[in-house]
Amino acid sequence: MRASPNSTGAFRHEALFYRGDDEFLAGTVPFVREALSAGEPVLVAVHPRKAETMKAELGADAVGVEFVDMRRLGRNPACIIPAWRDFVSANLADGSTVRGVGEPIWPGRTPAELVECQRHEWLLNLAFTDAPAWWLLCPYDASRLEPEVLDAACKTHPHLAENGDTHESDRYCDPELEDDPFAERLPPPSESPEQLAFTLDDLPLVRRIVERRASAAGLDETRTGDLLLAVSELAANSVLHGGGSGRLSLWEEGEQILCEVRDAGVIDDPLVGRERPEPTWPDGRGLWIANQVCDLSQIRSLPDGNIVRVQMSLN
């Protein structure tokens, strides 16, 4: 029997391991129906095909559920926590709770996307440590995902569900007690990148180089503007908070253009860029902006400084 968030007074983060559509529906639809019966708002963020199967199974009850396309919301996994924050803030009332179903990891995710999804799942537990109690169920396709992905889910979710059984994970890594298990160094570029060491006076040159490289790679005008905005913000952060200087690298991998900014700073907040900036905040907008406009962003703060790598698809 699952303990509800109201009975424990805490955020409940649970992984659901399923095999095939029937098990997916058996694990998610009763969860949603139980919430609707209790008058709890529900947000479901999954692939549209799975959303359609859930709607068909729910029938008339589907009108009471908010559905979001996780392919769009979670393309950059750093955007998912803010969406859950918005949903919880808008719908959670005193003495009640809300529920969510979110599937950010699916077969076909690139290695870079996958590790950022795993970091996202781990950081959820930190983001909602002091939040009012609510319940998030995260489905994992155990028939198609690699065993190491399922093992990582056991590290990022305090609770696990499979074949109708629910239990606590004995491999869970508590972010308040343990270091980030997904903070390994980023892989080196697949080709020799174009590089520029910059200071404050070089910020206009940073923008010109990014615009030229993106245009030459075939990135369209709108997305070139988004990438230019993101890298401009990152470079400005390096000048303001990273020791006054930084190093820009640009290269292409397959159908992606990647830009990386390194500096001598330290990022001590693992949720940086995942919290919507308040108007009164003096800073903190640069990484938020990069997360919002880029297809993927990867942030690492290592003993030798900060690394922020962003990428955009050329398709």
Domain over 5-168 is classified CATH 3.40.50.300: yes
* DSSP annotation string for 219-243: --HHHHHHHHHHHHHHHHHHHHHSS
Distance separating alpha carbons of residues 45 and 298, to the nearest angstrom: 22
- The tokens describing 161, both together, are 């569900």
Distance separating alpha carbons of residues 237 and 282, to the nearest angstrom: 12
Distance separating alpha carbons of residues 224 and 258, to the nearest angstrom: 12
Domain over 194-313 is classified CATH 3.20.110.10: no
pLDDT at position 216: 95
Q: What is the DSSP letter of 272?
A: T
Domain coordinates of the chain in residue numbers? 5-168, 194-313
> Do 194-313 and 5-168 have the same topology in CATH?
no
Can you give the pLDDT of all 315 residues of the chain as single tens digits? 455 655 556 899 999 999 999 999 999 999 999 999 999 999 999 999 999 999 999 999 999 999 999 999 999 999 999 999 999 999 987 667 899 999 999 999 999 999 999 999 999 999 999 888 899 999 999 999 999 999 999 999 999 999 989 999 999 999 999 989 998 899 999 889 999 999 999 999 999 999 999 999 999 999 999 999 999 999 999 999 999 999 999 999 999 999 999 999 998 899 999 988 877 665 668 899 999 999 999 999 988 899 999 999 998
pLDDT at position 283: 65
- The tokens describing 119, both together, are 């970091």
pLDDT at position 133: 86
Distance separating alpha carbons of residues 247 and 307, to the nearest angstrom: 10
Give residue 54's Cα distance to chain centre.
Answer: 23
Nearest to 16 by CA among 154, 210, 213, 189: 154
Distance separating alpha carbons of residues 84 and 92, to the nearest angstrom: 11
